[in-house]
Structure 1
Amino acid sequence: MGDGTLIVQSARGATYDSGEDLSDIVKNLNPRWAVRSRVSQTPGTRLWSLSATVDQTQGDKSTEEDIPLGLPWGDFIRWFSLARISNPWIAPVHGKTRFDLNRDGVISSFLNPQGQHLVILALSGLRNVSTSLQSDEAGNVVARVISDSNAKEEATILVAMGDDFRRAMAATMYQARDLVVALAYEDAQRQPGVSEFDGPVRPEWREDWYDGLGYCTWNSLGQQLTDDKIFQALEKLRSSNLKVSNLIIDDNWQSIDHRSDDQFENGWLDFEADSRYFPRGLRYTIRRIREENPHIQHVTVWHALFGYWGGISPNGRLAKSYETVDIMQRRGIGEDPGQIKTTTVIAKDDISRFYQDFYRFLSLSGVDGVKTDAQFMVDTLTSSSSRRELTNAYLDSWNILSIRRFGNKSISCMSQVPQIMFHTQLPHNKPQIVCRNSEDFFPDVPSSHPWHIWANAHNSILTRYLNVLPDWDMFQTVHDYSAYHAAARCVSGGPIYITDVPGDHNLSLIQEMTGQTIRRRTVIFRPSVVGQAIDPYIGYHDDVLLKVGSYNGGSETGTPILGVFNVSSRRLTELIPLASFPGIGSFCRYVVTAHAAHTISRPIKLDDPSALLTVVLDVRGYEIFTAYPTLSFNPGENKEVLVANLGLLGKMTGAAAVAGSKFHVAANGRLQLDTDLKALGTLGIYISHLPTLTIDDDFIATISGRIIPPGTVSISKRDEHVLEIDIETAWKEVGQPVGWSNEVDVRVYFTLKK
């Protein structure tokens, strides 16, 4: 670990008007950039947009140009970027006093000794122009611009400065959203394409999709997928009493021409499943899955944006039914451009009809969601005319028609391409969908596991602003890193899928992530704010714990959550201040639980000298801290009672199991808690004067108005200030019928003054 850096910030007003021009901030600012000051939508920041004219394409070749920008402040102490590590994926890159970025960066942020942050965002997808950030030999920021337009266009960069990184980041993203939406509206007026949502979009309960535990066939069943393998796997899940809510049938169900052992060479033949491995067809497979597993609410199937990895087979039924075109594209997914190959795809004029027919077939077969992979393929086309004609046509048709048919039950995958992120994912004018947030989970590559969590946490710094729910990918519950991955998925705020080998499950770990609803569905406890790395400038090899901040509930009244992960190769010890938690209130007192250590703190607040949490983590170690806000009641005689709803105990993010919570003094003088829970489990309540109370004399609790049996209420063996109520056992003993609600209505009354 290197030496630390002390940053002393000066006091500045909320308007953050330093009077400086951007040329005073960026040394040697290239005059080719036209600079315009913008009104920032976040307090304490300044914002500029920069534009530079780029030439049109020459022939059928994209115009490429490097346009120098300058050097932030002339020097800085740390920098952080999110850059493309391959065609489909982005990942974090870090550095200190010299900017050294040889990949295409989407965003870069710089920190100076005065604690100021300069965030630079390169916009892509605006009228066929893509812009990225790199460095030159002297360490200056350079914009790499690629234009596929047949007219002169402008490259656009947004720059924001502030004392708070999050606010500066938000300033650029909010402005980018406004620019993208405005430009899309102008283009739609000139060239109407696929109509927006002129038909009804089926409303969905979010619990049914985002909040259900999923099972994916990819790592679990391998690439030789058959209907029998799926049936047998689900039977083993049932025998383990593991009732998943969502099933994802991944790659290898489709009818493929198998021209090669290389999947990138194989094309799609027909909508129907491969008759060799699904001999009774897709509809039979889905019907049997649903009949034998009524707890499975949703079935999703995989397909590539172009149909399959190798597009459409020129000899299949699809090629005969739809107009096709042969395109030239770079092969593969890595940085190496690889060889150029010819691929058959659906032509522009038939893309919408193709997706409409395919999704109608899936819907009639019982499928109600899609995972659309290999979306980066639109960025591998070598012809500028093909890129101009097909990129947005495919992205718009897929996005609109998948949402129209399946609602929000779409997963966008391998789509961390700047053009896709800004054109398709940034606008908030359509339902939010799930989007894979990083490169894949690789169970057999030990070094990949800490990096997987690291990359996802940092990528979320950007993707949290998109109109997507970041998906940290599937994982296996029986694995050296299984609990590590489980904790990361829980604090991510995204969906959770497992891909266990059939019959090989860690049920206790699954119980830490999930709960059973009163309708016997298995749900996860997803914080309402997605998790992200809270220290953007800390490098992967700095031997510092990764902290992932999340939050559940409303502003000021919600629950901050902090996941902590050891990504290094040695044991680490740190003191973590309460101020590290996102959304901590200045005046509130919190009780902080540690999930793995099974501890709870005394009430602490932000300005307490002792508001520090000690954490010691071995290799592969993790901890999840949850800061529960307390409420204060004064029963008189200079006494104070502090209370907090701890949600479901024993769950990694049990605070997110609380759908509603309210403490108030009842007419009889007792304190009353009204809370709604998303699932059954053990409810925890922190009560500061609990040691002076008795369960028999001072408590009464109800479920939907019925008295809870006294035997289901106890005082925690871990802390004498925590009351535990076994809601699951109480529900069974009370025999409460299931009503219209999915939630458990619990009321607890207890003595306030003793």
Structure 2
Amino acid sequence: MTIGAGISVADGKLTVLGNTVLVDVHDNIVVTPATGGALANGAFVGVTSDQMGCRRVFPVGKLQGLRFMCVFRFKLWWMTQRMGTCGKDIPFETQFLIVESQSESGGSHSDEGGRVGVDESSVYTVFLPILEGDFRAVLQGNEHDELEICLESGDPAVDEFGGSHLVFVGAGSNPFDVITNAVKTVEKHLQTFSHRERKKMPDMVNWFGWCTWDAFYTDVTSEGVKQGLESLEKGGIPPKFVIIDDGWQSVSMDPNGIEYKADNTANFANRLTHIKENHKFQKDGKEGHRVEDPALGLRHIVSEIKEKHALKYVYVWHAITGYWGGVRPGITEMDHYESKLAYPVSSPGVESIEHCDALKSITTNGLGLVNPEKVFNFYNELHSYLSSAGINGVKVDVQNILETLGAGHGGRVKLARKYHQALEASIARNFPDNGIISCMSHNTDGLYSAKRTAVIRASDDFFPRDPASHTIHIASVAYNTVFLGEFMQPDWDMFHSLHPMAEYHGAARAVGGCAIYVSDKPGQHDFNLLKKLVLPDGSILRAKLPGRPTRDCLFSDPTRDGKSLLKIWNLNNFTGVVGVFNCQGAGWCKVSKKNLIHDENPETITGIIRAKDVDHLPKVADEKWTGDAVVYSHLGGEVVYLPKDVSLPITLKSREYEVFTVVPVKELSNGVRFAPIGLLKMFNSGGAIIELDYESKRSAAVAMTIRGCGVFGAYSSSRPKRITVDDGSEEMEFGYEEGSGLVTVALRVPDGELFVWNVTIEL
């Protein structure tokens, strides 16, 4: 028998808190207790063997008859979710796995968050394959229902490993707490990365933005950037940040290169030829001619748009290797980076999952890989130039390509860590707001090497012209966030505000806790939609956490099972928010290896909403909260009082959504029940409530600080006596619906940025 805290292997069984999770466990599987970690019930699982080979696969034991959810890579760059009940359902390249088992004791009691009335019969076991030395572990299943550990270095010369700490296993009764504490325990063990909570979040995530990609692709110009910003500003929705995506850099093909031009005009065979901008971003620039005066380079357009449009942040795109094809060797201006052609070698797991044009191009043409010993110089010179031009941050793309280039560099883990350490050091030096978005980076080589990077693109791209992509985009981000959200704040990607699925995408981003930005072409906007997301000053009502599926959705498949809705929960300062989406009908096809519509006419589905869907709601409620809540529906405009443990039905047709604001009810000293909702026209209404004070200054009075403008709503069991703003200096007219208890008051558009109203309601 080998034993860790709450985890044991004995008699061929892996047992977790008394529940059997794996059977027929192999004799060479060992358990090592975690020491000093954040999770009491957790241990490392490893193997004993000859510990030789650059790629080894070790069967652990059989998983049968237990529901699981995993996130796995369906592309070299990106993850998505898979649900199942047995080992053979676990795909190659699974980087996170959570299994549900039923406790024999059962029962219902308070959970770790103090939540009452929660069914605690379930035990949640999380499996985190991690890094050990120069090796990276990943999970997969086999035809015998066995869970396997695949261990690889990415370099034939790196073939010796320890094997004792390959997978961390943690367990408990609250899945979200288990995952958080498991990642924190691994953080303490590896000491190579930091949990999201310890990272500086760049301020750009709190503002509305625009990205040039879907508007212009690589044909973007400085004039196009100006047109896009002007177009949005004219409609009363001013962007406060812009991302100048691929298309600004100086690139070219090798003379004998083979062109691979994607539909979006990116040529994957191009390589970086200079760290400065191309002629399209030089003042009066001409192709083939480079200006020497920095004031006539990128700085001229950045200065102009910041001054004219009151932009706070300008980011630009670049690949982690400079460009898709890397840095071109043999160019005088780039020689000191010592780039050499390298040819990607994908792992067998990645080779089995998709055909990728970008990877095919890079494999055919090679990639100009900067000498890892010179890569800090490369990043620092690039970023210092950008910073001197007024750039505030970078979107760093194509990151997972590094895992294919480890041969000759000590393996994939060592190469990735060297690059990420250099990248983060350069960001810290040149972009003090931690201005970086990590992209195409869904591998654990990078995640477990990121000490500072705080924002990560959470799914494959928004594809405006692919009808099969929209519902699975929302579902993939939500489930990926269960894992990714422990490392960084997930970024839901840009979307089009004028699009058949625009409201669906917008609502999801409102509950995602993410930056909100669009990629509209100039003149093609839906300002009515954007006003549900963006305040007149360009700020957004961002929720506090990464948005994740509710507990009762974790093991259901809302894209394929024909019966489940996807519910995504988040928290504000004093309220919760739940977005509900009918995502049925489309998903990733493992045969054709692309998103497909598998049901042209998905059924209408009915589900339920409960206060406990907002998992951490007790943390923002009054300490004497009884469990009663008020729920406000964004589209329905209805206020419903939900007594503790009572549910509200919700019915959605295919591709429909609804957003619910969930507010704990407070009973005041005079018996009046009250719950502030927020700005009713915004998707995330409750995000407007910055401060909330019950009866501290006078009895039967509620004082609130509200950010934004429009109709503010609250629930009250009796009609208020008076509502004032600005500490009582101005009495406001208000409405009151006797039947629903909805109180409404109109807050005018303020003059200043991030303006707040001090509102007092006397009851």
TM-score interval (norm. to shorter): 0.7 to 0.9
Match of 2:667 in 1: 632
Kept in 1: contact 2:609–2:647 (CA 8 A): yes
Match of 2:611 in 1: 578
Kept in 1: contact 2:25–2:62 (CA 8 A): yes
Kept in 2: contact 1:574–1:614 (CA 8 A): yes
Looking at structure 1, the residues matched to 712 and 754 of structure 2 have their Cα atoms a distance apart, in angstroms, of 17
Of 548, 555, 558, the match for 1:537: 555
Match of 1:158 in 2: 168
Amino acid of the structure 2 residue aligned with 1:650: K
Matched, 1:605 2:651: no
CA gap 1:533/1:95 in 2 versus in 1, 3 angstroms = same
Deviation at 1:393, TM superposition (A): 1.3
Match of 2:756 in 1: 744
Looking at structure 2, the residues matched to 363 and 251 of structure 1 have their Cα atoms a distance apart, in angstroms, of 18
**Matched residue of 2:531: which SS?**
helix
Match of 1:469 in 2: 489
Match of 2:117 in 1: none
**Matched residue of 2:578: which SS?**
strand
Looking at structure 2, the residues matched to 120 and 588 of structure 1 have their Cα atoms a distance apart, in angstroms, of 29
Looking at structure 2, the residues matched to 276 and 18 of structure 1 have their Cα atoms a distance apart, in angstroms, of 62
Looking at structure 2, the residues matched to 141 and 204 of structure 1 have their Cα atoms a distance apart, in angstroms, of 37
Kept in 2: contact 1:118–1:159 (CA 8 A): no
Match of 1:196 in 2: none
Which runs of no fewer than 5 residues in structure 1 stay unpaired? Answer: 1-14, 186-202, 733-737
Kept in 2: contact 1:490–1:652 (CA 8 A): yes
Of 281, 288, 301, the match for 2:304: 288
Using the TM superposition, name which of 96-105 and 111-120 deviates more.
111-120
Of 696, 707, 730, the match for 2:729: 707
CA gap 1:717/1:184 in 2 versus in 1, 3 angstroms = closer
CA gap 1:567/1:434 in 2 versus in 1, 3 angstroms = same
**Matched residue of 1:523: which SS?**
coil
Deviation at 1:493, TM superposition (A): 0.7
Match of 2:131 in 1: 125
Give the number of equivalent residue pairs.
669
Kept in 1: contact 2:222–2:280 (CA 8 A): no
Deviation at 1:677, TM superposition (A): 2.6
**Matched residue of 2:701: which SS?**
strand
Amino acid of the structure 1 residue aligned with 2:605: L
Matched, 1:175 2:189: no
Kept in 2: contact 1:483–1:509 (CA 8 A): yes
Deviation at 1:719, TM superposition (A): 6.3
CA gap 1:160/1:204 in 2 versus in 1, 3 angstroms = closer
Kept in 2: contact 1:471–1:494 (CA 8 A): yes
Using the TM superposition, name which of 117-126 and 524-533 deviates more.
117-126
Of 181, 201, 212, the match for 1:217: 212
Deviation at 1:256, TM superposition (A): 0.6
Matched, 1:408 2:434: yes
Match of 1:10 in 2: none
**Matched residue of 1:529: which SS?**
coil
Match of 2:673 in 1: 642
Match of 2:715 in 1: 686
Of 550, 558, 567, the match for 1:547: 567
Matched, 1:728 2:748: yes
Looking at structure 2, the residues matched to 381 and 410 of structure 1 have their Cα atoms a distance apart, in angstroms, of 23
Kept in 1: contact 2:201–2:455 (CA 8 A): no
Amino acid of the structure 2 residue aligned with 1:660: E
Using the TM superposition, name which of 543-552 and 401-410 deviates more.
401-410
Deviation at 1:309, TM superposition (A): 0.3
Amino acid of the structure 2 residue aligned with 1:644: A
Of 631, 635, 649, the match for 1:596: 635
Matched, 1:67 2:58: yes
Amino acid of the structure 2 residue aligned with 1:152: F
Deviation at 1:41, TM superposition (A): 5.9
Taking only aligned residues, the RMSD between alpha carbons, in angstroms, comes to: 2.9
Match of 1:30 in 2: 26
CA gap 1:31/1:16 in 2 versus in 1, 3 angstroms = closer
Post-superposition CA distance 1:234-267 (Å, at most 9, x none): 2222222221111000001101114453222110
**Matched residue of 1:153: which SS?**
coil
Query: What does residue range 328-339 of structure 1 map to in structure 2 within 5 Å?
Result: 328-330=343-345, 335-336=354-355, 338=360, 339=363
Deviation at 1:118, TM superposition (A): 5.4
Kept in 2: contact 1:40–1:171 (CA 8 A): no
Deviation at 1:184, TM superposition (A): 7.7
Amino acid of the structure 2 residue aligned with 1:265: A
Kept in 1: contact 2:8–2:14 (CA 8 A): no
Match of 1:193 in 2: none
Kept in 2: contact 1:42–1:168 (CA 8 A): no
After TM superposition, the score normalised by the length of structure 2 is 0.82
Query: What does residue range 329-368 of structure 1 map to in structure 2 within 5 Å?
Result: 329-330=344-345, 335-336=354-355, 338=360, 339=363, 341-368=365-392
Deviation at 1:478, TM superposition (A): 0.8
Post-superposition CA distance 1:288-337 (Å, at most 9, x none): 2122212x111000000000000012243442242223322148997347
Kept in 1: contact 2:329–2:338 (CA 8 A): no
CA gap 1:218/1:184 in 2 versus in 1, 3 angstroms = closer
Looking at structure 1, the residues matched to 652 and 230 of structure 2 have their Cα atoms a distance apart, in angstroms, of 38
CA gap 1:652/1:509 in 2 versus in 1, 3 angstroms = same
Match of 1:87 in 2: 76
Deviation at 1:132, TM superposition (A): 0.7
Looking at structure 2, the residues matched to 394 and 42 of structure 1 have their Cα atoms a distance apart, in angstroms, of 29
CA gap 1:20/1:37 in 2 versus in 1, 3 angstroms = farther
Amino acid of the structure 1 residue aligned with 2:545: V
Using the TM superposition, name which of 565-574 and 475-484 deviates more.
565-574
After TM superposition, the score normalised by the length of structure 1 is 0.83
Matched, 1:484 2:504: yes
Match of 1:269 in 2: 273
Kept in 2: contact 1:83–1:105 (CA 8 A): yes
Kept in 2: contact 1:598–1:718 (CA 8 A): no
Looking at structure 1, the residues matched to 325 and 7 of structure 2 have their Cα atoms a distance apart, in angstroms, of 54
Deviation at 1:216, TM superposition (A): 0.3
Kept in 2: contact 1:700–1:707 (CA 8 A): no
**Matched residue of 1:634: which SS?**
coil
Looking at structure 1, the residues matched to 60 and 636 of structure 2 have their Cα atoms a distance apart, in angstroms, of 49
Looking at structure 2, the residues matched to 218 and 121 of structure 1 have their Cα atoms a distance apart, in angstroms, of 37
Deviation at 1:341, TM superposition (A): 4.5
Match of 1:651 in 2: 682
Looking at structure 2, the residues matched to 488 and 215 of structure 1 have their Cα atoms a distance apart, in angstroms, of 17
Of 42, 50, 53, the match for 2:45: 50
Kept in 1: contact 2:6–2:42 (CA 8 A): no
Which runs of no fewer than 5 residues in structure 2 stay unpaired? Answer: 104-120, 261-266, 286-295, 585-601, 619-624
**Matched residue of 2:695: which SS?**
strand
Post-superposition CA distance 1:622-677 (Å, at most 9, x none): 01111111211232xxxx2011222222111121122211121645x5x3332223
Matched, 1:660 2:695: no
CA gap 1:341/1:221 in 2 versus in 1, 3 angstroms = closer
Deviation at 1:17, TM superposition (A): 8.9
Using the TM superposition, name which of 615-624 and 673-682 deviates more.
673-682
Looking at structure 1, the residues matched to 606 and 31 of structure 2 have their Cα atoms a distance apart, in angstroms, of 46
Deviation at 1:726, TM superposition (A): 2.0
Looking at structure 2, the residues matched to 101 and 371 of structure 1 have their Cα atoms a distance apart, in angstroms, of 32
Deviation at 1:179, TM superposition (A): 1.2
Looking at structure 1, the residues matched to 577 and 37 of structure 2 have their Cα atoms a distance apart, in angstroms, of 26
